[in-house]
Structure 1
Amino acid sequence: MTEKLHLQRQFSSKDFAALRAFVQRLPPATIARTYYDSDEDPHAATPGAMERYLRDMLATLVDLAIEHGSPVLADHLKASIKKHGSARLTAGSLKMVEEAARLAVATPAAAHGIGMWFRPMVARYLKGRGVATLGDLVAYCNARGGSWWRSVPRIGPGRARLIVAWLRRHERAIGLRVEPDVELADPLVAPDAEIIAVGGEAGLLAPLERMAVREALDGSRGLNRCPAFPYIHAHNDLAAIRAYLHLYRDQPKTLRVYTKELERFLLWSVTIRGKALSSLLVDDCEAFKDFLKLPSPAFVGPRAPRASRRWRPFASDSLSPESQAYAVRVLRAAFTWLVDARYLAGNPWKMVKDPVTIEREAKLKVERALPEQLWSDIRRHVRSQSAAAENQRWRIVHALMLLLGDSGLRREEAAGARRETLRPYPADDGTDVWALTVIGKRSRERTVPVSTETVEAIRAHWLDRGEDFDAVAAAGPLLSPLVIPKTRAAQAKHGSAERQPYRADTLNELVDWLRSRLLAELDGLTPATHACLERMSPHAFRHTFGTQAAANDVPLDVVQKVLGHQSVQTTSIYVQAEKQRMMREVGQMFGKRSTNEREA
């Protein structure tokens, strides 16, 4: 009989919570409203049905506890039934019954409706976003990352943290995994213990995520606040700025630079100007533009971690005209969005002109490109070092160097390159070449050629990883670490079953390592080649591709497409022939003049 009951009736943790409330004498109507959804739980449709369901559940659990619990508990329950007709339980005895009847707890499954496991309010708002089952919920979290909860009404970070923790706790039963990058920490808000109030007499400074603005200057009553209904939930200027920056949560580089410009302006506004950001006028904006030319000494300091009290908004006591103009453009765009969101009534930055900048002859620093002979020497040396079985790191930098220098990839593109998008390309002239599709700047997809030498270097790196590059279903990042650091962040990222790629910043560290080895091991370096190596970076390899392609008469439009430039004018900087001719002809004139002067 007990086995029959167990098969017919399985209970969730929500049922146990409701039963505890029932034992504590809460009315069935209140229990139904608090714990159940009448659409998914017909037993919660009326108070009578709710009470019958809970009494039946209690009887089932008592039967299971009598059979599977301790003799003392079984005797106690039997005596209570004999005396009262049914078991009379206290909160304490109910807990013992629950522990003895764990076999009756339902196991979560991907197909279960969310109303079976979450309270009605949570289930209702999730279903409003098309999330009907636990499987849907896992997919929803994985698709949106740590900020998934922002699009669901009444699901704040605290409740989101509990939901994700529950999904992770039951991932084996559900059969689906919440990805490690579904982090619930808001990158724009630090823990409460790290928050620093700015805008007072103490002159304290803090980065945006650690900042709290004192009420008198927080903008909750700013003069430029829009009286119409706002489109964002922001009671003050800091919340409004964070709402704007949240738009760039999937673009880490853009988020980083926009955060820098907005936190500088906000700190200047409340600590130096003594005004709320939403009260600033055109003359205030002009004053900040002047401030950018020569920041206050209190705002300047050596680079320090953002969590350090030594952190300062500026690392230099002066910004280049280009950096000043960039800051103004970022602020103008942010204020335009705040006006469109009806947080601000108007945009004072529209009345401010950009700082005057010099139109540079060359916007790209192509002088960082490696000379042809040095590039050839580096390739030869790295290839030689990679041949030794124990030199796994050399094989990693070999593959990285060739991806950047032979295919013109950006650092982020190389970090994100995957085996699934690398395919042999059947060329008509019999040339051996592969094609790699990457996602570049502004989320633009492009396909670049990959040399067979690069493919061989990647294949050797995969062999070190214990993976078959040529397998039919080969998949994963082209470059991936062989050794995972024991830091919490690294373990969290690489702890999943799927192999993870290098972070883009780590590629800088690999190139730094390569630079130090080349400086120590290459023979016959001239002062010029030594200086070139000293400033070698991942982007230098990309510039090397551009200059080498132009020198070998690859059509400019082809170079533009490989490099992913928006404009052919940007690519044309790699064409050095005209500049070299100019220098040669004028140099000859100088030489003739010197000769004539000596003869005279």
Structure 2
Amino acid sequence: MNLANQIQPVVHHRAYSRSDFTALRAFVQRVPAATIARLYFTEDEDGHEPTPGWVESYLRRMQADLVDLAIEHGSPVLADHLKQSARRHGSARLTAISLKMVEQAAGLAVAQPAPEHGVGMWFRPLVALRLKEAGIGTLGELVAFCSARGGSWWRAIRRIGPGRARRVVAWLRQHEAALGSIPADVDERPPFTADDSEIIEIGGSHATLVPLERMALRAALSGAVGENRSAAFAYIYARNDLEAVRAYLYRYRDQPKTLRAYTKELERFLLWAVCVRGKPLSSLLADDCEAYKDFLKTPSPAFVGPRFARSSSRWRPFASAGMSADSQKYAIRALRAAFAWLVDVRYLAGNPWKAVKDPVVIEREAGLDIGRALPAGLWQRARIYIDEQCAPREARYWRTVRVVLLLSGDSGLRREELTVARREKMRPSPYRADNVPAWELTFVGKRNKERTVPVSPAAIDALRAHWADRGLDFDSAAEGPLIKPIFVPPTPLAQERHGNGTDESYVPDAINKMVRWAMKRLIAGMPDLTVAEMTQLTSTSPHAFRHTFGTQAGANDVPIDVIQRIMGHASLQTTTIYVQAEKERMLREAARYFEKQRTPGSD
């Protein structure tokens, strides 16, 4: 066929994707086919093995298709150039510049993404691989996954960080007409941002109280020219106090619990400064800080209200009219630390909180309140009762509860640690005693530290039963959350979150609800409970089972340093609360002394 005289319409057996065009550009620039295969193609692309030979053949066919389309739809100058190249070399040869012109002319060849398209067709192989590891094979499944999980969807996928996640969502939004709409909350906002329509300027005694992300400050109260502003070159870009506070809090963006706690304290103080004290944060002196210390004891009624969403007009900084001395001390120490940082980065000239003493608090005999730990007898009876409830085939939720309680009560896991524990981080341990099978679990716990804990045989048996309820074999499984919801409630919120059938773990609040559910049934069903035991179960929380492990381990002479390692305490002093030998010895010796003081014949 003479290409110059007869142009045949191109029938596309495959629509070309963005990855295909990227691969073709590399091919035109003489990148080896083996490298292109590794970077731009995956094993399941059209069922072909992405060998260098196949890749080279595929890209040559693609180039020929695009050239034909460009000749048919491009400018006369481009068409003549391509025809002459084809006559001279047998096929049109392209440079990087001419390829770009061909792509523009052959725009009809670019595929529109469709829900049934594989993710490997539209994303780089490494991204597609991570998505497939999470069970996401098609674009439709990716849209459903993101929609169900909201802004934190990427946290369930290895090596997909927030930056890459934003780019993925932005691309999905470009093709919403073909792929379906993406809910607004899938765009995870950086901390302390809100829509312009939600921003409210505050200042003055009758100002509306809004959280930090919705806050703007009047010019006179912004701190742009605060009296305590440093004259030296600042290490942060902050034009006013609000930007400086956000810069400080942004340091904790990867520590959500710490970020929430510090945000609460700083937004309270900032609101008080501008709305009650009528001064910018960067103009406050030590006597202002003393006044806020008094304010914390009895916050103004305007600052107090029931808990509402931060987007609600009824949101208030304080949930109760009084704070405990411990909470007041925490607030002041958090503010002192924040101001110290602002001085260190040379935003402020000095730290007025250095002149303010902490509130007086009671120094407790034990640093932690472990009174809610279940006594050994009650814990053993509860375990027997729970095992009985787990026996019926339909008792799947009970079997999930049993895993939660045993991992807390036998291995000392915190509530949040239960939600991040995964099967791939659990393995049989090479260390065992008296041929008792031993397992170990590794996870990232508090303070972002990795920790390994032993797992009891009872917990392993409970996990096997829970995984069987999920239709999986625990011993042969390679990955997945250790604990996963089996039943999804029929509420719209639950269906939206879990309806895509993804590998969804529990959230911390769900662990709280689970324990409350179990305690109610223990109280109603366990025989021979005393009033004191019922009262204790009523107030039992997930953390109480962690304390139960500590107290029982200490009572059974487990070395204190071992207990510390298992529980992940930063200080050995914290762990000593579980070792009661010294206190028990003191009370026994005192009892003997009292016995000697008794007069003969007295009762």
| 1:482 has 2:486 as partner | yes
Matched letter for residue 472 of structure 2: E
Kept in 1, the 8 Å contact 2:438–2:454? The answer is yes
* Residue of 433, 442, 449 corresponding to 1:444: 449
Residue in structure 2 matched with residue 540 of structure 1 by the alignment: 544
In structure 2, the partner of 1:431 is 436
- CA 1:399–1:2 in structure 2 vs 1: closer, same or farther (change >3 Å)? same
* Structure 2 contact 262–334 (Cα < 8 Å) conserved: yes
Q: CA deviation at 1:428?
A: 5.2
Partners of 2:185 and 2:158 lie apart in 1 by 8
SS at match of 1:561: helix
Q: Answer whether contact 1:404 1:542 (CA < 8 A) is retained.
A: yes
Deviation at 1:304, TM superposition (A): 3.4
Among 408, 411, 420, the residue aligned to 1:407: 411
> What TM-score comes out, normalization by structure 2 length?
0.71
Q: CA deviation at 1:143?
A: 4.6
CA distance in 1, matches of 2:498, 2:466: 18
Whole-angstrom distance in 2 between the partners of 1:142 and 1:418? 13
* Contact map agreement 1:142 1:182 (CA 8 A) in 2: no
Counterpart CA distance in 2 for 1:461 and 1:489 is: 24
Contact 1:2 1:64 in 2 (8 A): no
2: CA distance, partners of 1:487 / 1:225? 52
Q: Please give the alpha-carbon distance, in whole angstroms, between the structure 2 residues aligned to 1:409 and 1:501.
A: 16
Instruction: Give me the whole-angstrom Cα distance separating, in 2, the residues matched to 1:582 and 1:316.
Output: 40
Q: Unpaired segments of 5 or more residues in structure 2?
A: 1-6, 22-65, 75-103, 114-120, 126-153
Q: Could you say which residue in structure 2 is the equivalent of 1:462?
A: 467
String of CA shifts for 1:312-346, please: whole Å, max 9, x gaps: 22223332222222111111211222233333233
**Secondary structure of the equivalent of 1:447?**
strand
Matched with 1:27 is none
Q: Aligned letter for 2:109?
A: L
Q: How many residues align?
A: 482
Question: Are residues 1:315 and 2:344 paired?
Answer: no
Partner of 1:302: 306
Q: Does 1:502 align with 2:506?
A: yes
Gaps of 5+ in 1: 16-56, 66-97, 113-137, 150-159
Aligned to 2:217: 213
How far does the alpha carbon of each residue in 1:4-58 deviate from its partner, in whole angstroms, 9 at most, with x for none?
A: 7999x98989x9xxxxxxxxxxxxxxxxxxxxxxxxxxxxxxxxxxxxxxxxx99
How far did 1:499 drift? Answer: 0.6
**Shift in Å, 1:420:** 0.8
Match of 1:354 among 355, 358, 373: 358
| Cα offset, 1:264, TM superposition | 0.9
Matched, 1:517 2:521: yes
CA contact (8 A) 1:244 1:338 kept: yes
Which residue in 1 is equivalent to 2:37? Answer: none
Change (3 A) 1:342 1:459: same
Do 1:64 and 1:101's aligned partners in 2 also have CA atoms closer than 8 Å?
no
Q: Which residue of 190, 194, 201 maps to 1:186?
A: 190
> Is 1:377 aligned to residue 377 of structure 2?
no
Partner SS state of residue 436, structure 1: strand
**Corresponding position: 1:396 with 2:400:** yes
Within the candidate set 576, 579, 582, 1:575 is matched to 579
Amino acid at match of 1:458: L
The residue type equivalent to 1:447 in the other structure is T
Which among 75, 81, 102 is matched to residue 108 of structure 2?
102
Q: Counterparts of 1:10 and 1:390 in 2: how far apart (Å)?
A: 50
Partner of 1:129: none
The 2-side partners of 1:192 and 1:391 are apart by: 50
Measured in 2, the distance between the counterparts of 1:527 and 1:485 equals 33
**Equivalent position of 1:421 in the other structure:** 425
Shift of 1:285: 1.6
Partner in structure 2 of residue 80 of structure 1: none
Residue in 2 that maps onto 1:21: none
RMSD: 3.8
Conserved? CA contact 2:409–2:546, under 8 Å: yes
What is the one-letter code of the residue matched to 2:540? M
* Counterpart secondary structure, 1:513: helix
Structure 2 counterpart of 1:198, from 192, 198, 202? 202
Which residue of structure 1 lines up, in the alignment, with residue 297 of structure 2? 293
Tell me how far apart the structure 1 counterparts of residues 242 and 319 of structure 2 sit (CA, whole Å).
23
* Matches for 1:152-191 after TM superposition, within 5 Å: 164-167=169-172, 183-191=187-195
Instruction: Confirm whether residue 386 of structure 1 aligns to residue 390 of structure 2.
Output: yes
Q: Percent identity?
A: 55
Distance of 1:280 and 1:142 partners within structure 2: 45
2:69, 2:106 within 8 Å by CA — same for their partners in 1? Answer: no
* 2:438 counterpart SS class: strand
Distance verdict in 2 for CA 1:328–1:101, change over 3 Å: closer
Q: Is the 8 A contact 1:145 1:181 kept in 2?
A: no
Q: Distance in 2 between matches of 1:367 and 1:443?
A: 27
Verify the 8 A CA contact 2:10 2:68 in the aligned structure 1.
no
Q: Is the 8 A contact 1:145 1:182 kept in 2?
A: no
Q: Which moved more, 1:338-347 or 1:384-393?
A: 338-347
Partner of 1:131: none
Going from structure 1 to structure 2, the CA distance change for 1:169 and 1:396 (only over 3 Å counts) comes to farther
Q: Deviation of residue 503 (structure 1)?
A: 0.8
- Structure 1 window deviating more from structure 2 (250-259 vs 284-293): it is 284-293
Deviation (angstroms), 1:478: 0.2
For residue 342 of structure 1, give the secondary structure of its aligned residue in structure 2. coil
Q: Distance in 2 between matches of 1:428 and 1:381?
A: 28
Deviations 1:383-413 (A, max 9, x none): 1111111111101100100000011111111
* AA partner of residue 469 (structure 1): F
1:553 to 550, 557, 571: 557
Matches of 1:185 and 1:492 in 2, distance apart? 20
